[in-house]
Amino acid sequence: MAEVCIPNIGPREHARRLRVGVVMLIVSVVVALFLMAIGASRIWRATVFVPLLIGAFGVLQVRAHTCVALAARGLRNMDAGDEAIADPVELRAVKAQARRVNLQAAALAAGLTAAFIVIP
């Protein structure tokens, strides 16, 4: 049975996170290409992890309709400002969605960073 997504961010918040995510993914590609062009060592190539992680968070939060920072504080922002999530069942679901976003973002950023590091 598919899980029901309980959003804690609205359309404006989606757009904001998507912009940040896409910009940071573009920054990651630019940094990666620059580091490759100058023949940077593998340890320097690992620095691409940070912008990749931020980009992954942005895009994956949009996909999951879940802001991990708001979820951690028990809040939602459906474009009318932050408000508490009063229903404990809803709050548990939103926090579970946020945990998945955290794990997916970390795995995606780590995997892409590792792939970039092993490229000669």
Please give the backbone phi and psi of residue 47, each rounded to the nearest 5 degrees, phi first. Answer: -65, -15
Residue 11 CB partners (closer than 8 Å, separation 6+):
79
Per-residue pLDDT of the chain (120 residues; tens, 9 = 90+): 557 899 999 999 999 999 999 999 999 999 999 999 999 999 999 999 999 999 999 999 999 999 999 999 999 999 999 999 999 999 999 999 999 999 999 999 999 999 999 988
Q: How far apart are CA 12 and CA 39, in angstroms?
A: 41
Whether residue 5 is contained in a domain is answered as no
In a 3-state reduction of DSSP, which class is residue 77? Answer: strand
Domain of residue 79, residue span? 11-118
| CA 56, chain centre distance (Å) | 4
| Residue 1 covered by a domain | no
Question: What is the tens place of the pLDDT at every residue in 91-108?
Answer: 999 999 999 999 999 999
4 within domain boundaries: no
pTM score: 0.92
Domains identified in the chain, total number: 1
Q: Which two tokens stand for residue 83?
A: 């408000």
